[in-house]
Amino acid sequence: MEQHQNQVGHPCLLEALTIAALSVAALVGCTGTLSGTDSGNRSAGPNQGVGPGGVADPGGGVAAGGRDATGSLLPAVGPAGLRRLTTREYDNTVRDLLGDDSGPSRQLVAESHGAEGYVAFQPMGATELEQYRSAAEAIAARAVGQVADLVPCASGTAEPICTRAFIDSFGKRAFRRPLAAAEATELEALYTGVRMRAGLSHSDGIRVLLTAMLQDPRFLYQRQLGSGAADANGLVPLDAYDMASRLSYALWRTMPDAALLEAADSGRLGTEAEVRAQATRMLADPRAREATTAWASSWLGLERLDTLSRPADAYPEWTPALGAAMRRESEAFVASVVLDGDAALHTLLTAPVAFPDAALSQLYGVAKPTLAGGLSQVNLNPTQRAGILTQASFLTAFPTPVLRGKFVRERLLCQTMPPPPPNAQGMGHVLADPASERERVSAHSTDPACAGCHTLMDPIGFGFLSFDAIGKWRESDAGRPIDDSGALAGTDADGSFVGPVELAARLASSADVRQCLTRRWFRSLLERAETDSDNGSLELLGAALEKGERPMRDMLLALVAAPAFRYRHPLSGEATP
Amino acid sequence: MSKGRVTRRDLIARLGLGAAAIPLLYAGARAQSAPAFPRRLVLFTVPSCGPRDLFWPTGTETDFTLSAMTSPLEDLKKKLTFVGGVGSLSAYDQPNFAVHEAHCHLLTGAQTVSLQGANGRYNGVGGPSLDWTLANLPAMSGLPFPQLVVGYNYEGNGYTRAAPKAAGQAAPEITRRDNPATLFDQLFAGRPTVGTAVDPSIARIREERASVLDYLTSSLNSYKVNLGTEDRQKIDFHLDGLRDLERNLNGNATTLGCTPGTRPMTADFSNIDNVPALVQRQLDVVTAALSCDLTRVVTLQWAHDGGNRWNYPWLGPEFKQAVPKASDPAGTGIISQHYLQHQAWTSPDLTAMRAKLEGWWLSQYAYLAHKLNSVQEGSGTMLDNTALVFIGAQGFPGNHELYPHPIIITGSCGGFFRTGRFVKFGSRTDYNEPEVTKVATRDGLVAHNRLLVSLANAMGHPISTFGMTGSAYQGPLTELHA
């Protein structure tokens, strides 16, 4: 019977995962050259049905690449469809709305960030709706514990009068825009109806009202309305309240605060300068950490650290708490670079620092930190570690040379790697035991059926061979000294390198990487794929990242000021106002 | 639709009747559709069950010997039909097909469609599934839960779910939760039994929820007015879901004509060692739901075809091992069903593990068969009035081959199937030979669409095609019928 012992790093087999990674449909192999860039849904066909859907680019009048015949960028914006609050946004919003910081989304089905870095729309079926109902009922029951604080009512004023005032004021915050009179009346009717029909008290009536509002589409979904008619380019400026929501969910991952709603009330979110001013204020707020955390999570796949396991015999130091510490560390690192530090991509990719807790400091072989006042920065051995890709979180979430190489291709260079052929498991070569990881992975290059794709991934992944599957430095593997030399090809930073520090330096110097990361930020902040129509906006981001004083922070400000953020393209089938 | 619902509730309110009166509205439908004993379809789906030489019986159509894996069914042998030579041929005969869509194709037999998922596009369900189709027949409309979908570890993308209702849409489930006590509550809690009054606090919760559902329906309908086509469809799907909740709410007000048994104990089901207890308690609750005629169509999906999270440490120390270095040099994984599906054929030890693991699911199937057989119905048992179908999504998973499926139908579905047989369709003769890595031919197999047609016919749905159309997929497998 044929043995096949080199099925290394096969995503199908090794990531604890991934329904989703398996799902890429194409069965094409690689030819040793790249099959093009990862294009979000640029090439998406017509979206079928309601399913987990993106939005097709209507492309109305937009030339290929978003440029006109003379090569000038056309003002254009890709379509943004309805989206549901993520579980993180749900928790934050409930916290800011009702002071309830119990994290009620624990009982909801969590969405997952795809490899592309945004949350695709997942439909709400009965199962999901039942979970949202149960969460809403629990939140509302807690909230009416202090009903007099929630719905103030001066003595002598009738409860229904106070309730109507509550519906208007609370409704504006819950739905993130003022309620139309008819909307308020419907909520009032619900309150009155249950009080009469089910014989409920005022407090119980408010509870039912809250339960309904927390399941209302205006609470659960984000939609983008325009204000007024489309301009000559077919674009409509975003409605002021939707602009407030877009800002707050992009930069804070929660509902707009009073200042944002006030700005919307008084029409002070219309100009680029007004939007920038709000964003600058918001980036100085601690809540801005939510934006960098969401971005880092989706880019680095940090979610998977929550459910990962490692065999105890091979990795006795592995615990779920260690995984959580890895995640926290990288979130803290990204926030410190982008919001507090020089915000340079170079720093993100090369700084030999970490934010470990006690267990993680042991893994890095550095002194135990004092944890008073939270995680603090420690310096790592600069000959071994350089930036985010040498932190334990990434090295654990992507534990093999193949997965690490694939990560660089897909998430740093925005290139598309096809999935392995279905019979990849059945291909194989006999290697004498013990063989090192490098020897096993190298077997790919001797088989033409494997080599086409693996020559694109493996030589990059080799650069990380000094790290084991939980990111610990090692000097040998299977009794052989580590050979972590590799090569980068098909990029603007091509060349050979030895070890992770040299690889990181190459990646940090690459314009391709910078360009890819603008797209990753775009997707994370807008929770959608970019389309060709967004090229103009992306170029503004790119310019900020290239020339900004604090490049990634400047890029965030450039994004909120960009057309893709401030305008919308009417969607197919939409009623015109 | 929402208009009708509001009117009904308003009417009840105006007449001064409480929620307790709602059951009366359903009594007619149930009485009308109640033959002596209803026929039921229970679909028990697993990713695969093998290797094949350890699954299939040896012998002829009527004189066969069960394999060790299927031996827990020995005492029910006269009620079994092994169905060989049936494959998901329709999965191959289409442009979109890729091998990972086994489970979502299993009960649809339809053309797959390219859908946008969180990680890019994937091939998803392109048509309704058999269970959903049957649940939506008029005859089922009076049942509190026309379709029940239960299972363990089957969460996932559209392409890993066995019970979709249409393109990209998940089934209307009443539960995706693993806790059997929760399932029990959803089916039975607050349901009045004959001769008892409705608990007033439960009636109040029901009234509150009904009012909120009405409000939300109205709110969603106004919300969608200004949306584009695709966004409107998202809201329509949301509205569908609300209707399912409404139906469950009303279903829960239906008076029970039976006693559901005891509520299962709760346990820490995040502890993987409790999974065997969890699965059996789920099967107990499903048996109760069927015997109380709350539902007649049940899909039980156990695990799915992707991912390495599904480990089975309770089966023995070998299931706590790391994936061998040969396949996982970094030593990151623990042996999973997925790993065994791919690798089992490469060594006798792994083959034995796969047989043990997949045989364990078969023993759970046998447990359910015996439970159904323990419920007396007239001169027979509930099992006799049921088609309890065991089906693996893949034939030889080492090559992602969706053929031939391991299939057992237990019970005759009220005399529709002729049981006690090992029926081999087509020309394949390798049932008892070890699996090999060479891609096997699909020649000489029959399309599983035809099995789906037979099952629909058994449930009184007189169709001749299901899913993909064309002569190769058409017509029931009459050889199975009595």
In this predicted structure, the answer to whether residue A397 has a pLDDT above a threshold of 90 is yes
CB–CB of B119 and A4 under 8 A? no
3-class DSSP string for chain B = CHHHHHHHHHHHHHCCCCHHHHHHHHHHHHHHCCCCCCCEEEEEEEEECCCHHHHCCEECCCCEECCCCCHHHHHHHHHEEEEECEECHHHHCCCCCCHHHHHHHHCCCCCCEEEEECCEEEEECCCCCHHHHHHCCHHHCCCCCCCEEEEECCCCCHHHCCCCCECCECCCCCCCCCCHHHHHHHHHCCCCECCCCCCHHHHHHHHHHHHHHHHHHHHHHHHCCCCCHHHHHHHHHHHHHHHHHHHHHHHCCCCECCCCCCCCCCCCCCCHHHHHHHHHHHHHHHHHHHHCCCCCEEEEEECCCCCCCCCCHHHCHHHHCECCCCCCCCCCCECCHHHHHHHHHHCHHHHHHHHHHHHHHHHHHHHHHHHHHCCEECCEEHHHHEEEEEEEEECEHHHCECCCCCEEEECCCCCCECCCEEEECCCCCCCCCCCCCCCCCCCCCEEHHHHHHHHHHHCCCCCCCCCCCCHHHCCCCHHHEC
For residue B80, the distance in angstroms to the closest alpha carbon of chain A comes to: 34
- Residues 188-247 of chain A with CB under 8 A from chain B are 190, 193-194, 197-200, 208, 211-212, 215-218, 221, 223, 225
Hey, which of A549-563, B187-201, B346-360 has the most confident mean pLDDT? A549-563
B124 has a chain A CB within 8 A of its CB: yes
Nearest to A123 among B169, B208, B227 (CB): B169
CB–CB of A82 and B173 under 8 A? no
In this predicted structure, the answer to whether residue A21 has a pLDDT above a threshold of 50 is no
In this predicted structure, the answer to whether residue B128 has a pLDDT above a threshold of 90 is no
Average pLDDT over residues B150-172: 55
Please state which of the ranges A12-21, A284-293, B172-181 shows the lowest mean pLDDT. Answer: A12-21
Exposure of A225 by Cβ count < 10 A (0-12 exposed, 13-18 middle, 19+ buried)?
middle
Average pLDDT over residues B123-131: 78
* Distance of alpha carbon A419 from alpha carbon A24, whole angstroms: 7
Please state which of the ranges A10-24, A388-402, B152-166, B399-413 shows the lowest mean pLDDT. Answer: A10-24
Tens-place pLDDT, residues A156-214: 889 999 999 999 999 999 999 999 999 999 999 999 999 998 889 999 999 999 999 99
Q: What is the predicted pLDDT for the residue at B158?
A: 47
* Distance of alpha carbon B115 from alpha carbon A289, whole angstroms: 33
* Distance of alpha carbon A404 from alpha carbon A14, whole angstroms: 12
Q: What is the dihedral of CA A205, A207, A208, A213, to 10 degrees?
A: 120
CB–CB of A48 and B167 under 8 A? yes
A41, A122, A197, best to mutate vs chain B, most B CBs in 10 Å:
A197
Q: What is the predicted pLDDT for the residue at B406?
A: 97
Task: Please state, for a pLDDT cut of 90, what percent of chain A lies above it.
Answer: 61
**Chain B residues within an 8 Å CB radius of A7:** 326-327
Q: How many CB atoms lie within 10 A of CB A357?
A: 18
In this predicted structure, the answer to whether residue A427 has a pLDDT above a threshold of 80 is no
Q: What is the predicted pLDDT for the residue at A66?
A: 53
In this predicted structure, the answer to whether residue A103 has a pLDDT above a threshold of 80 is yes
In this predicted structure, the answer to whether residue A477 has a pLDDT above a threshold of 80 is yes
B429 has a chain A CB within 8 A of its CB: no
**Chain B residues within an 8 Å CB radius of A14:** 308, 323, 328, 330, 332-333
Please state which of the ranges A298-302, A385-389, B201-205 shows the lowest mean pLDDT. Answer: B201-205
A129 has a chain B CB within 8 A of its CB: yes
Average pLDDT over residues B82-108: 82
Name the pLDDT band for A80 (thresholds 50, 70, 90): confident
Tens-place pLDDT, residues B188-234: 766 666 555 556 777 788 889 999 999 999 999 999 988 988 899 89
Mean pLDDT in chain A?
84
CB–CB of B398 and A425 under 8 A? yes
Name the pLDDT band for A54 (thresholds 50, 70, 90): very low
Of residues B99 and A28, more confidence is placed in B99
Name the pLDDT band for A307 (thresholds 50, 70, 90): confident
Give B251's contacts (C-beta < 8 A, 6+ positions apart).
Answer: B143, B144, B145, B294
Mean pLDDT in chain B?
80
Pairing outcome for strands B446-447 and B86-87: parallel
Tens-place pLDDT, residues A106-152: 878 777 777 788 888 877 877 789 889 989 999 999 999 989 999 99
Exposure of A558 by Cβ count < 10 A (0-12 exposed, 13-18 middle, 19+ buried)?
buried
CB–CB of B120 and A194 under 8 A? no
Question: How far apart, in Å, are the Cα atoms of A137 and each of A108, A142, B75, B390?
Answer: 13, 9, 49, 39
**Chain B residues within an 8 Å CB radius of A122:** 118
Q: Which amino acid is at A24?
A: V
Tokens read off for B129: 């599934």
Name the pLDDT band for A534 (thresholds 50, 70, 90): very high
Give A267's contacts (C-beta < 8 A, 6+ positions apart).
Answer: A240
In the beta sheet, which residues pair with residue A84?
A221
Pairing outcome for strands B386-394 and B40-48: parallel
Of residues A510 and B204, more confidence is placed in A510
**Chain A residues within an 8 Å CB radius of B338:** 13
* Distance of alpha carbon A464 from alpha carbon A441, whole angstroms: 13
CB–CB of A570 and B330 under 8 A? no
Hey, which of A115-129, B297-311, B383-397 has the most confident mean pLDDT? B383-397
In this predicted structure, the answer to whether residue B35 has a pLDDT above a threshold of 50 is no
Average pLDDT over residues A244-264: 97
Name the pLDDT band for A57 (thresholds 50, 70, 90): very low
Q: What is the predicted pLDDT for the residue at A422?
A: 60
Hey, which of A64-68, A311-315, B98-102, B329-333 has the most confident mean pLDDT? A311-315
**Chain B residues within an 8 Å CB radius of A433:** 325-326
- Model-level pTM greater than 0.90? no
Residue A456 and residue A34 in contact, taking contact as beta carbons nearer than 8 Å:
yes
Name the pLDDT band for B347 (thresholds 50, 70, 90): confident
Of residues A424 and A412, more confidence is placed in A412
Task: Please state, for a pLDDT cut of 70, what percent of chain B lies above it.
Answer: 75
Q: What is the predicted pLDDT for the residue at A374?
A: 78
Q: What is the dihedral of CA B455, B460, B461, B466, to 10 degrees?
A: 10
